[in-house]
Amino acid sequence: MRATTAAFDPAVSSLTGDLWLGSTNAATAFTPYVVDPGQSVAIPVTITPRDSPGSRVTGTIYIADSSLVSGFVTYNELPGNYPEGSDVAAFPYSYTITK
C-alpha cells in the first residue's frame, strides 16, 4: 500500500503542538485543549512567512480531535495508552508577503 499526504508546513505552529507531526518526530510536543460539550476555545496559530516579499502563500489549517486508546485494542496489542485522532475541520488560508 502507498499513500501520499500533504507535507507538514514548518511555517505553521501552535501552542497545542501537532499530534500528527509527532508520528514523524518523537520530540514534537502535543498539548491539546480540552473542550467540554457546549464550550468553545480559541487556538492561537502562528504562520511565519519564509518566502520573498510579493509571494502568495496558501495552505490549510486542520483541526483534529484526539483521545487515548488502550494499546490492547490496537493491532499490536501493546501495553499502555496511545493517542489517536481524526481531522474534523479544515480552514483554508492565503496571504501575500508584504515585507
Domain for residue 1, yes or no?
no
pLDDT digits (tens, 9 = 90+) for 72-95: 776 677 788 877 888 889 999 999
Under 8 Å between Cβ of 37 and 70: no
Distances (CA, A) of 97 to 16, 33, 91: 25, 30, 19
Domain for residue 48, yes or no?
yes
Average pLDDT over residues 48-73: 88
* Distance of alpha carbon 98 from alpha carbon 7, whole angstroms: 25
* Distance of alpha carbon 54 from alpha carbon 94, whole angstroms: 13
As beta bridge partners, residue 47 has 12
Domain for residue 80, yes or no?
yes
pLDDT for 75 equals 67
Handedness of CA 50, 97, 7, 80 (dihedral sign): positive
As beta bridge partners, residue 46 has 13
Which residue would you say has higher pLDDT here, 56 or 24?
56
Global confidence as pTM: 0.73
pLDDT for 61 equals 92
Under 8 Å between Cβ of 89 and 63: yes
Domain for residue 35, yes or no?
yes
Structural domain for 20, as ranges: 12-96
Domain for residue 19, yes or no?
yes
Domain for residue 21, yes or no?
yes
